[in-house]
A and B are shown apart, each in its own frame.
Chain A
């Protein structure tokens, strides 16, 4: 028998045994395990669940009979005190001597206690073992009886935060004290830490950052912690969780090589400086690092087991420290290199304070690789990001899509969903892989997107993966040779452009006519608004017509908000407004207690209007000379402008006047998606016109007209259509461009995406608009002029017609309001209570 002694019975020591006995040839070996703790190895990762009522037995890694069944000798409560590597023996504190052929050190680590004066005082604990937890619970009970309420945790790392939750669960007010200026300093950057902090503080845990503790106050027992500058935090208990210290004293005593800051040095075979002695887990110093995570510990256990059995397996050069966990109910994940401090990449950060979400991805300088990242509050992207990072896969041209996803029906978030490996988790809510989505189509169990959803439950959670799943389904269908037609929905076998032409040629005027003649079924929330928009583009029907087939916002001529109330945006063409009109807006906002905000389109948005109040609000605004701003429509929103040469000393032309003229010409016209414009009076471009669907910039000798840009999800600069043209030509080209877009784009396709998909691109479009290559320009201009001539403010229309007004009422049979609406304060205003 070859004798193996394992020193240490923690998670990694246990895993070594488990791995070893699963290998062939293990019968020739006898394993003996020594553990200083009185119990079998237990799950230290979930230690805090002990507070939540789990027993030591629940946390145990194995059953009571496991060691015996597997012929492993387990000696608990027996501490190994010396190794005599010359004669391959060890002695224990019971003065027993045992011999070995191979020795495995899995002594793990102990809590690192910083050398602070007074740490020995009563009421100061570490957070490491079940015994520590028992002592903490007993002490908490005692001090609570004496009226104490405050307790602190030293250390804002992963374990420290777990400990803080445990302390809070014991009924004490928890304070987390961290020396670094941020929480989880090894995993999170400042922004992520701030987000995590606000989430944790919402739960009643106080966070104290950048605090250096000078000494522990109190006579015999702790009464407080003294920070720099005489700042005292009064607490009656302190739990120290400030990091780990490898338990290397045994190896050190035996003369094995140890690191400067502790840890037994190992090579990639997990061998120490003595080839018969191995070290694994948190005691092992590999590549100058101690790995405090369980996954690398387990891998080390496997490598050591293989090596002892003369196997080939070695430890990887770089160990992945990616983690995804739920910390006090907050999702936190970090992967790859979360910081990229060495300038080899560029971070992209998304922060949403309202929802408590922070996302950061680090992209290589060449924009081709994902180097790492951080997710707080929502780690649903973790799987995909981790796949891309760990497989070194190509990333989308607009890497921000990786964390922002596709929005507003624009192009899909990952142009390259098909490039993912089959194992990539596409729907992380339901844990559905790319393989299972594609297979369900290719093996015939599913035919459509709907079938796939039913079968796999993909997209049924947060829904964020919908575009990716749809792409995969489409691609899988294509791979079967099926024709995938770009149809609007199940009710029509036509694209939007085809529907537009059919409706125009047949002079169809309502939904039932179109559905009955060329469609099937009753329509749906996808095709009905498309038809409404087409009727509008052809006949200039306002949204007061086909009311029940108008999209959510158009139906009530206002933008529906989170709580079912609406927001109101009057038009302020070019962002120009008189003092009187501004006062009028202010008075309306005051009267109806509306949250007021300046929008990005140089106008004012009033939020929180109840359905019943919309007509009265609009009546007042219209009486003061306002009209609908169409902020709710798939139509022209606003034309932003700089002040121009009326005031500006650099202005080359009158940008504000042109912006107002453009806005007033194209207001109210329904299009496949929203439209935004901008006019700048010089190349300094204060109006950000090139970030718009159309942008006009004054230059020497006229105006430059740019088209098909946008901000938002995939920012795109508008491209030059024509240079140094006069105002009249600007309008001529604009008429043609907009009308051509309205006729040919797919539903909810912005101009930039439309251009991207247009065969021939900008050169083709120039040819159509400038050279009239299709011979349709006279028609396009006439159609546009028809729309311009028949413009009507739909809000004015609505408030003047009692029949139309009927819909602005929450209850048909009562004047009561919706009593489900609740607000909470937001600075000096209000916002809806959270979902």
Chain B
């Protein structure tokens, strides 16, 4: 089962080769997320309206490998924007994908940019 996670590796802004149109900004609820499909990947896209920021990360929670992170609740820990998995409330930094409960597993994050009302997610392939 671990191979599900192998698909998801963080992409740095400088390495982006493909900007994928994930949808319109209005497709994503304020201060929440939705899941989009890119090739065989499931990506959670977060519209962090309060901060005027957008984030993208893997949809699979590395804890129990369920495709649910986009249905989680956003928030902040100190000043780090974060998302909590809806199943066991494991929380992850939306900035670098690190786990905020002191556990080892982390999530992959992807760059997001908004161009003329379109949400674009950066991938390397």
Contacts and interface: CB of A to CB of B under 8 A. Distances in A.
A522 B76 contact: yes
B15 interface: no
B32 A820 contact: no
A146 interface: no
A556 B75 contact: no
Given A548-B29, A807-B29, A835-B64, A524 B86 contact: no
A285 B75 CA distance: 65
A379 interface: no
Contacts of A814: 36-37
Contacts of A812: 22-23, 27-28, 34-36, 45
A650 interface: no
B57 interface: no
A522 B75 contact: yes
B14 interface: no
Interface residues of B, number: 45
Given A524-B73, A555-B71, A812-B34, 18 more contacts: A453-B101, A454-B102, A521-B78, A524-B82, A524-B91, A529-B73, A548-B29, A548-B32, A552-B87, A560-B68, A562-B66, A564-B68, A810-B35, A810-B67, A813-B36, A814-B36, A814-B37, A820-B66
A74 B41 CA distance: 66
B93 interface: no
B31 interface: yes
A522 B4 CA distance: 31
A522 B66 contact: no
A528 B91 CA distance: 14
B111 interface: no
Interface string A790-833: 00000000000000000100111110101010000000000000
Given A460-B102, A521-B78, A818-B67, A813 B73 contact: no
By Cβ-Cβ distance, the 8 closest A-B pairs, closest first, are A548-B32, A524-B75, A552-B86, A525-B84, A522-B76, A460-B102, A812-B34, A525-B73
A521 B79 contact: yes
Interface in A376-415: none
Contacts of A813: 22-23, 27, 36-37
A555 B72 CA distance: 9
A835 B88 CA distance: 13
Contacts of B18: none
A221 interface: no
Contacts of B75: 491, 521-525, 527-528
25 contacts: A460-B101, A460-B103, A463-B101, A490-B77, A521-B75, A522-B31, A522-B51, A522-B75, A524-B76, A524-B77, A524-B91, A528-B75, A548-B32, A552-B86, A552-B87, A555-B86, A564-B67, A810-B67, A811-B36, A812-B34, A814-B36, A818-B42, A820-B42, A820-B60, A835-B64
A459 B99 CA distance: 13
Interface in B50-98: 50-51, 60, 64-68, 71-79, 81-82, 84, 86-89, 91
Interface string A447-488: 000000110010110010000000000000000000000000
Q: What DSSP secondary structure best describes chain A's contact surface?
A: loop
A143 interface: no
A273 interface: no
Contacts of B36: 811-814
A512 interface: yes
A271 interface: no
Nearest to A456: B102
Contacts of A584: none
Interface in A194-229: none
A549 B73 contact: yes
A722 interface: no
B74 A522 contact: yes
B16 interface: no
A370 B38 CA distance: 56
Contacts of B42: 811, 818, 820
Contact of A816 (B27, B37, B51, B103): B37
A592 B89 CA distance: 29
A827 B109 CA distance: 41
Contacts of B87: 552, 560, 562, 564
Contacts of A295: none
